[in-house]
C-alpha cells in the first residue's frame, strides 16, 4: 500500500509539473507578442537639432552602453547631434521613477523613454498593477508639465527567464495596461520584445543563451547593443519619416 501511494503521489506530482510547464510556456509566448500598438510613436514630425533623449528606468538601462550607442547610431543616421542621458537604477520601480521627474524635467529633452514594467511586476517589489499605472500616470503628468514639447513613450525591453521570470508572473498584464496608458496619455510605445524573442529563441536552439542573458534578465552588452541600440534608433528615425538607420 505505501508503494502504491508513493506511485500515485509521484504521478500526481508529474501531472502538476507538466500542467505548470504548459501554462508557463503559454504565458511566455504571450509575453513575447507585440503590444497593441507595437512600436508606435506619435509627435515626431520633425527632429530637433540637437536631438536630446532621456532614458528613465531600471538596470536594463542603467550601467550599460546601449543608450549612448543608440544616440550615436541615430546621430549618424540623421546627420545632426543626438545626445542621451540616463536616469536609471538597478532594482528601481516606478515609485522611484517619480523622484526622477524633477531632474529629468530640469534639462530640455525631445524624447523621454520610460521602462519600469519589468520591476513593477516583480513580486518582491510589492507594486500592485493599479499602483504601477497610477505611478506612471503621475510621472507622465509631471514630465509633461516640465517638458511640454517632449515626446514621452514607454520602452518595452526583454523579458526575464528562469527564476527571474517566475518572480514576474503578471508581467504581461503590467505591460498591457501601461501600453494603453502611454498610448492614450503620452506618445506611444517602442516595443523591442519581438526582436528579443527572436534572438533568445535562436540562442536557445544554438545552446548559447548565457551569451545573451547570462542571469536570465540582464543582457550582455553585445546583445543589448545589437538589439536595443539599433531598435530604438530605428524606431525614432522611422517615426520621423526617415526609415530605419543603416547598420
Instruction: Read off the CATH number of the domain in which 66 is found.
Output: 3.40.50.1110
Domain count, the chain: 1
Q: How far apart are alpha carbons 180 and 36 in whole angstroms?
A: 8
- In 3D space, the residue among 150, 140, 136 whose CA is nearest the CA of residue 178 turns out to be 136
Quick one: 140 exposed, middle or buried, by C-beta within 10 A (0-12, 13-18, 19+)? buried
The domain containing residue 83 runs over which residues? 32-239
Is 23 among the domain residues? no
> Which secondary-structure segment (H or E) carries 141?
helix 129-146
Tens-place pLDDT, residues 22-37: 444 444 444 555 554 4
Is 20 among the domain residues? no
Question: From the centroid of its chain, how far is CA 245?
Answer: 21
Tens-place pLDDT, residues 133-166: 999 999 999 999 999 889 999 999 999 989 999 9
Tens-place pLDDT, residues 183-218: 999 999 999 999 999 999 999 999 998 889 999 999
Is 83 among the domain residues? yes
Is 26 among the domain residues? no
How many Cβ atoms sit within 10 Å of the Cβ of residue 74? 27
Residue pair 58/88 in contact by the 8 Å Cβ criterion: yes
Q: What is the pTM of this model?
A: 0.85
Is 21 among the domain residues? no
Q: How far apart are alpha carbons 39 and 41 in whole angstroms?
A: 6
Amino acid at each position: 500500500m505505501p508503494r502504491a501511494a508513493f506511485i500515485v503521489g509521484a504521478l500526481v506530482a508529474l501531472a502538476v509539473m507538466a500542467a505548470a510547464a504548459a501554462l508557463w510556456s503559454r504565458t511566455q509566448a504571450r509575453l513575447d507578442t507585440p503590444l497593441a500598438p507595437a512600436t508606435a510613436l506619435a509627435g515626431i514630425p520633425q527632429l530637433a537639432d540637437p536631438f536630446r533623449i532621456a532614458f528613465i528606468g531600471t538596470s536594463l538601462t542603467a550601467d550599460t552602453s546601449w543608450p549612448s550607442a543608440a544616440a550615436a547610431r541615430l546621430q549618424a543616421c540623421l546627420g545632426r547631434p543626438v545626445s542621451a542621458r540616463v536616469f536609471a537604477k538597478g532594482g528601481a520601480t516606478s515609485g522611484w521613477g517619480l523622484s526622477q521627474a524633477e531632474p529629468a524635467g530640469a534639462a530640455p529633452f525631445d524624447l523621454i523613454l520610460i521602462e519600469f514594467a519589468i520591476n513593477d511586476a516583480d513580486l518582491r517589489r510589492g507594486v500592485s498593477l493599479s499602483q504601477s499605472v497610477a505611478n506612471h500616470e503621475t510621472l507622465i503628468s509631471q514630465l509633461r508639465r516640465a517638458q511640454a514639447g517632449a515626446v514621452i513613450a514607454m520602452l518595452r525591453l526583454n523579458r526575464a527567464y528562469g527564476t527571474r521570470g517566475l518572480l514576474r508572473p503578471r508581467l504581461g498584464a503590467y505591460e498591457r495596461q501601461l501600453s494603453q496608458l502611454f498610448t492614450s496619455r503620452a506618445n506611444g510605445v517602442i516595443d523591442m520584445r519581438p526582436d528579443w524573442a527572436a534572438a533568445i529563441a535562436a540562442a536557445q536552439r544554438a545552446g548559447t543563451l548565457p551569451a545573451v542573458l547570462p542571469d536570465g534578465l540582464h543582457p550582455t552588452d553585445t546583445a543589448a547593443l545589437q538589439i536595443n541600440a539599433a531598435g530604438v534608433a530605428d524606431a525614432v528615425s522611422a517615426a520621423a519619416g526617415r526609415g530605419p538607420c543603416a547598420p
